[in-house]
Structure 1
C-alpha cells in the first residue's frame, strides 16, 4: 500500500533557457536560474549553462557561496591560489566551498570547448566564513540507483536508499536522471526543499499533474512545505537526460555584489577590502 504521507510534487512553473552569444572564448551562455530571485530560488542563487574555451574564466575571487560545476562535455582544468589543481572530465561534478574566500580559475584544456552547468549555492550566515574546500565528484565513483530503463546518479543527497558521501553545509539533493523512452522513475525529496528539474535531452511528463517538459526547459517544483516527505515522478516519452536539484531554504537576507554573496552591505564591503588586502591568500594571474 502506498504511503499516503508522501505527496507527489507538482510543477509550479516552466520556462525555456535561451542561449545567447557570450563573445570571444565565452561562446554561449544560458541562464537556467536567473540571478536576483533570491527568495524564490533559496538556497540557490543562480545557475548558468556555458560553452567556453580557454581564457573565459581566469583567476577570480569568491566568498560566501558554494559553486557546483557539472561538466557535460570537454575537459576543464581547475586551479586555485592555495596550490590546488585538477581536471574535470565529462560527467564529473566539482563542489567548491568558497567560504571565507578563495581565488580560482576554470579553464578548458588547449583545444577544448567545455559545456557545463554551474550552480551557485548560498551559505547561511554561520557558514559564510568557513574554510574553503573542494570535492571532486567523479562520475565513475558516484553511487547509482538502477531501475527498469532508468538510472539515477547521486552526486549529493540520496535517491531511495542510495546515498552520496558528499559533504553539505546546506542540505542539497543533486541527481542526474537518465530514462529510456516509455519508462518512469520517482525521486524522493524532503517536503521542505525548494527545487527544479533541468532537461538536458529528450522530453517527458513530470509530477502530480504530469506537466510536460522538453529539452532546455526548467521545471520549478511546487511547494510542499507542510509535508515531511515528498516525491516527483519522471516519465519519459523520448530518451531523457535531466538533472534534479533541490535544497533546504536558508531564509536569510541576501546581498550579492559580483563574486561575493553575504547578508549585509557592510559584509560585502569587508569582502572587497579583505580581497584587496590579500586576506584571500596570494593573488594569481593566468
Structure 2
C-alpha cells in the first residue's frame, strides 16, 4: 500500500512538472517569436516619433502614451470601487437573496465577452453621458471590464485574514471600521494588489472595448484632455495586421508594436509586484 501511494505521488508530481514545462515552453516560444521578429524595428525614433504616411513610417509614440493613459485611468477607477465592494461583501453584507444576486452578477460579469462591455460603453459613456469617443469613455469601459476580477481577488484576500484578528480588535472596543482599516486591510493589501496585477494585462491588451469607445488608428498627435481621442497599441496592432494595402510593408512595425506592448505590461507588472512586496515586508516587521 505504501509503495503504491509513493508511486501515485511520483506520477502526480511528474504530470504536474510536465504540464508546467509545457506552459513555460509555450510562453518562451511565443516570446522568442515576437522578440526575434520585432527587435529590428525597435529604436529611439520608433518609440519617440509620431507616425507618418498612414503608419507605414515613423514611430508609435502616441499609441504608447494612449495605452499608458488607459492603464492608469482604468486602474484608478476600478481599484477603489473593487476594493470597497469587496469590503462590503466580505465584512458587512449578510447572507441572503440580495447578496446572492450581487455575487451572481459579479460572476456573470467576469465571464461576459469584452465586446459586450464595448457596446455598453458606447451606449452609456459615449452617447448617453456625452463623453464622446475619448480616453474617459474608454477608461471607464475598461474599468467595468476588470472590476469583477478585482472584486474577486480582493474578497479572497480579505477572507485569508484570520477571524481572530477581527475578534481581538473588536474585543478591545475598537469600532468595526477601525478594525477593517487598521487590522484587516494591511494584511489583505498584498492580495488585493494581485487583482490589479491580473487586470493590467487585460486592460493593455483589449481591443474591442476601445475600438467602440475612442481609439483611432492614425492620429499623429497626443491627446490634450480626457475627452480627446487617442491611439492605443492593441487596436493599432490589430489594424496593422488585418487591414490596409501595406500589410507586408508594415510587418516589422507590427512585431515591434507587439514587443513594445509586452514590455509595457511587464514594466507595469514589475511596479505592481514591487508595491505588493513592500506591503508584505511591512507585515513581517
Q: TM-score interval w.r.t. the shorter chain?
A: under 0.3
* Superposition TM-score, scaled by structure 2 size: 0.23
Structure having the higher helix fraction is 2
Larger gyration radius, structure 1 or structure 2: 2
Q: Which has the higher contact order (CA 8 A, sep 6+)?
A: 2
